[in-house]
Structure 1
Amino acid sequence: MTSPHRPTRRRILTTSFALGASVALGLPATARARDAAAGGDVVPVDWQRLGSYPAQDAAGRRVRTILAGSSRYLIGPWYASTYRTYLPDGYIDLKGTDERAIRLPAMAAVATTTALVTGVYDPATLSAANATIRTRNLIRTLAARHLANNSSPATRWGNGWQTALWAYYTALAGWLFWGELDDKARRDIAAMTAWEADRLTTGNDLFLVGTSGHQLYEKRRDGTVVTPGDSKAEEDNWSAAVLSLAEVMMPGHPRAAAWKRRNLELLLAAAARPADLTGTTTVNGIRLSSWLRGTNIADDGTLDNHNILHPLYMVAFDQSLYEGFVYGLADRSAPRAALHNITRVYSALVDKPFTAPDGTVKTIYQPGSGRIHYPEGNDWGTHFPFYFGNFDLLVSLTAQDTGIDPAAATWERLHNEEQLSLMARFTDGRTYGASGENTYYGREHRIGAMAGQAFLTLFVARNTTKNRLRFA
């Protein structure tokens, strides 16, 4: 599934720059009308304005190495063993419409697009030209199969519990790769993104979607436990992600204001704690005590999932912090709501003592080590250093570790050095070996998606022009 056409890495970047320039000058009215009919005017990333990021700082070198290895594995061996044929309509066979079929290639696309457009991609085993072709295949197929663009019950996806996240990954990859996509793929991405964002604006201050079904909170204001042992924090902030991206990609869309407001609401609901239900705190124009109708985390910053106090879901607030780079790529400030209670959650990881059955006392982060203590166990496996190193980096870059000792930068080094040690066991860029290390079937793709988004956050914060990682 390769082609004799071999654009260089420089061509990828140059194409993106040229498209940014065409938007600045103004598209012809007919082109703009077609775009609006397909879901709104998408404003591409202006890479020339953003400058470059050579990643010479220590944290940057670590994340660059992780991204280079992961993207090389995903678009190389994994893609080659997964996608072998085109279907009659010219798209690759995704082999289903479930999480495995949609989320995994979407995460792979995030990793590879980021690596290609930032110059991180390692062509040691697959040229940048062929990586571009494969990545384009993933993006255009995923967008075309979304129900906004596809009427076939056999191949369409969307309107599901997790599909906002899948749409976010696909749209992010498409936005980064805009200059490498044809008009059909662009229209499909815009329509998919707008459709999933619109669905989420039907919710209110109690429900994620509509007036029943998906909940915003684990616990209601009156003390009712709606979903015992299952915080809704992760669902709220992955849903916020597609709303933020829709609003940033299509700022002139008629529904952009509604997407912006709902993004704020979901970010605040995700990190809501009991103390937020009283008082006078207002964030981005929303008074917490008036709008919130429940909570997802405890006052000490911990949360539960799968019926245990679960550190892996505490660091799932990475999705909230990624909004910094989404807005930064458009040279805009991200909403302060994305930072709500992050310092409290991080303090619980670093400083909060937990007493074990044998009477010993431990913190989740182990002093001087990359190891993690799980106070009530971990049902996902044994090796997750980058999940924490990624969060450490984001907390450090957004200065949400104020008053916490050791600082997040110290933990980033410990956890990401541990991640690099895992990757050093293999020659193809992968992280994991035995299934028990991480039992999620998309474990390699999760590493790639995190690495891509972490690197983009570094890019907007430490590029050669100015720091665009801002919150207001």
Structure 2
Amino acid sequence: MPALPPFSRRRFLGTAGLLGAVTALGAPAVAEAAENDVIPIDWPNLGSYPGADTAGQRVTTILAGSTRYLIGPWYAGMYPRYLPDGYIDLRGTDERAVRLPAMAAVSAATALTTGTYDPQTLSAANAAIRTRNLIRTLAARHRANNADPATRWGSGWQTALWAYYTALAGWLFWAELDTAEREHLVAMLVWEAQRLTTGDDVYLVGGSGDQLYMTRRDGTVVTPGDSKAEENSWSAAALSLAAVMMPNHPDAASWRRRNVELLVAGAACPADLTSGETINGIRLSSWLQGTNIADDGTLQNHDRLHPLYMVSFDQSLYQGFVFGLADRAAPRAALHNITRTYAALVEKPFPLPDGGTSTIYRPGSAEIYYPEGNDWGTHFPFYFGNFDLLVDLTAQDTGIDPAAATWERLHNEDQLNLMSRFPDGRTYGANGENTYYGREHRIGVMAAQAYLTLFLARNTRGNRLRWR
């Protein structure tokens, strides 16, 4: 594995150094904290993370390389100029225009704040300016702050996820933002969180439209081949972050409750419908109105049994670091049925087309078997390596053999092999490897959140991944 340059081996940079560089280049100086009840991250209290363990070295290299590409050549090609109002041009209001820069912002804010940024092609000071531009523009263009229908985004099917990414990047970069930028960030996140608290035990928002389950309690399949697990998890993410950033907000209790509800619903299986278990105050048998995964831990998406969506529960496990950054315990609901799903990846045999069987994870190999095919492409090692790491750090592989740490090494070494093909830090070449237009951004945002989970689990002050 290539050595990181000296700057990137510093595990905690803090924001004072970045702020000085940004201000010197003409950006506004940081104002006093806006009156928005946000509790900034107390970095000194969290200790530091040397990153010397082998998993940490792998994730650090992935994060550093991905960030170098996203905040370097990708940003330069996408945002060559400022608009008259001082913001960058997002070029639209859809997923491509909003989610991608939000993911890039998380990657860059994490790398810069933790000292894992690699400045070999762009200085940290200039990377900080670009990161701030992404955060402040995304927040300002949200409908909570923007009345222009041509440029505003928000209040849509996936926008809670985009707001989560933007707000997470902003919280990490809090000391770099001025009062107006902070207020925009808060207004955006509160707007999306408030939408989600209007739902109930059947509907995501309000009393109609998108439901929480693929299959209802009575067996009716609402959305054939389309589990709601992923949507519930990403919506829960926005609620968790709002509650952690603003614990004294008058609606924080509602956000915490709705977060738990979505986590439980997202991972619900048929066995839960008759279970006497209560998780974070929710009795599964009486509250759940449907299911999203099978009792064997598999789930359906894109009209097939889809391993890539089985590992989308990474979004639930990220709540460990979100709460950990505030030195608080995350809800145990985030762990619901993770072991069940991971066992399906490692141990469950599936039929092969020519006879015999295979597990999804193939012993001793980074290769993934897709029992019903994969419509997204051919190369996704870090999607699985990221999930392996989270399962390992949260001890959700109990009784599963081989253990998650073994698979993390195999999958993330394969990810590093993909990245070694390119000098600019990106992962993918031919479109067929991964057909998603935000494929590089997905690598960056996963690496950032995996690194932050490592930071909280293995820092010098002790493990801060706690569950209540």
Q: Could you tell me which of 334, 337, 357 is aligned with 1:338? A: 334
Q: Would you say the 8 A contact 2:243–2:255 is kept in 1?
A: yes
Matched ranges for 1:156-175 at <5 A: 156-175=152-171
Which residue in 2 is equivalent to 1:358?
354
Q: Secondary structure at the match of 2:35?
A: helix
Q: Would you say the 8 A contact 1:16–1:178 is kept in 2?
A: no
Which residue in 1 is equivalent to 2:76?
80
Which residue in 1 is equivalent to 2:48?
52
What is the CA deviation profile of residues 439-465 of structure 1, one whole-angstrom value per residue up to 9, with x for unaligned ones?
000000000000000000000000111
Distance 1:163 1:13 in 2: 31
Which residue in 1 is equivalent to 2:130?
134
Q: Secondary structure at the match of 2:448?
A: helix
Query: Structure 1: any 5+ residue segments left out of the alignment?
Result: 1-7, 20-30
Distance 2:219 2:352 in 1: 28
Which residue in 1 is equivalent to 2:212?
216
Which residue in 1 is equivalent to 2:277?
281
* Structure 1 position 319, deviation (Å): 0.1
- Asked if residue 439 in structure 1 is aligned to residue 435 in structure 2, the reply is yes
Distance 1:122 1:279 in 2: 49
Q: Would you say the 8 A contact 2:225–2:300 is kept in 1?
A: yes
- Asked if residue 269 in structure 1 is aligned to residue 254 in structure 2, the reply is no
Q: Secondary structure at the match of 1:404?
A: coil
What is the CA deviation profile of residues 90-138 of structure 1, one whole-angstrom value per residue up to 9, with x for unaligned ones?
0000000000000000000000000001100000000000000000000
Distance 1:470 1:116 in 2: 25
The one-letter amino acid of 1:75's match is I
Q: Would you say the 8 A contact 1:272–1:294 is kept in 2?
A: yes
Q: Secondary structure at the match of 1:376?
A: coil
- Asked if residue 155 in structure 1 is aligned to residue 151 in structure 2, the reply is yes
Distance 2:13 2:42 in 1: 10
Distance 2:268 2:236 in 1: 14
Q: 1:64 to 1:128 in 2, by over 3 A?
A: same
Matched ranges for 1:221-240 at <5 A: 221-240=217-236
- Asked if residue 206 in structure 1 is aligned to residue 202 in structure 2, the reply is yes
- Asked if residue 392 in structure 1 is aligned to residue 385 in structure 2, the reply is no
Which residue in 2 is equivalent to 1:25?
none
Q: Secondary structure at the match of 2:103?
A: helix
* Structure 1 position 279, deviation (Å): 2.4
Which residue in 1 is equivalent to 2:24?
none
Q: Would you say the 8 A contact 1:9–1:128 is kept in 2?
A: no
Distance 2:363 2:299 in 1: 22
Q: Would you say the 8 A contact 1:136–1:181 is kept in 2?
A: yes
Distance 2:34 2:448 in 1: 31
* Structure 1 position 18, deviation (Å): 12
- Asked if residue 188 in structure 1 is aligned to residue 197 in structure 2, the reply is no
Q: Could you tell me which of 411, 414, 417 is aligned with 1:415? A: 411
Distance 1:33 1:316 in 2: 35
The one-letter amino acid of 1:360's match is G
Q: Could you tell me which of 170, 193, 197 is aligned with 1:197? A: 193
Q: Would you say the 8 A contact 2:212–2:228 is kept in 1?
A: yes
Which residue in 2 is equivalent to 1:5?
none
Percent of matched pairs sharing the same residue: 77
Q: Secondary structure at the match of 2:165?
A: helix
* Structure 1 position 88, deviation (Å): 1.0
Distance 1:140 1:127 in 2: 20
Which residue in 1 is equivalent to 2:256?
260
Matched ranges for 1:316-327 at <5 A: 316-327=312-323
Q: Would you say the 8 A contact 2:351–2:357 is kept in 1?
A: yes
Which residue in 2 is equivalent to 1:63?
59
Distance 2:83 2:9 in 1: 28
* Structure 1 position 54, deviation (Å): 1.2
Q: Would you say the 8 A contact 1:17–1:47 is kept in 2?
A: no
- Asked if residue 90 in structure 1 is aligned to residue 94 in structure 2, the reply is no
Distance 2:230 2:386 in 1: 16
Distance 1:205 1:421 in 2: 44
Which residue in 1 is equivalent to 2:457?
461
The one-letter amino acid of 1:292's match is L
Distance 1:196 1:232 in 2: 18
Q: Secondary structure at the match of 1:35?
A: coil
- Asked if residue 379 in structure 1 is aligned to residue 336 in structure 2, the reply is no
Which residue in 1 is equivalent to 2:364?
368
* Structure 1 position 16, deviation (Å): 6.0
Distance 2:182 2:365 in 1: 45
How many matched pairs? 450
Distance 1:103 1:408 in 2: 29
Distance 1:34 1:77 in 2: 33
Q: Would you say the 8 A contact 1:16–1:45 is kept in 2?
A: no
Q: 1:34 to 1:331 in 2, by over 3 A?
A: closer
Q: Would you say the 8 A contact 1:363–1:373 is kept in 2?
A: yes
Q: Would you say the 8 A contact 1:16–1:177 is kept in 2?
A: no
- Asked if residue 116 in structure 1 is aligned to residue 121 in structure 2, the reply is no
The one-letter amino acid of 2:429's match is G
Which residue in 2 is equivalent to 1:329?
325
The one-letter amino acid of 1:353's match is P
Q: Would you say the 8 A contact 2:32–2:179 is kept in 1?
A: no
TM-score for the superposition, normalised by structure 1: 0.93
Distance 1:9 1:126 in 2: 16
Q: 1:156 to 1:224 in 2, by over 3 A?
A: same
Q: Would you say the 8 A contact 2:192–2:238 is kept in 1?
A: yes
Q: Could you tell me which of 270, 289, 294 is aligned with 1:293? A: 289
Query: Structure 2: any 5+ residue segments left out of the alignment?
Result: 1-7, 20-30
Q: Would you say the 8 A contact 2:15–2:113 is kept in 1?
A: no
* Structure 1 position 13, deviation (Å): 4.2
Farther-moved stretch of structure 1 (207-216 vs 437-446): 207-216
Q: 1:437 to 1:14 in 2, by over 3 A?
A: closer
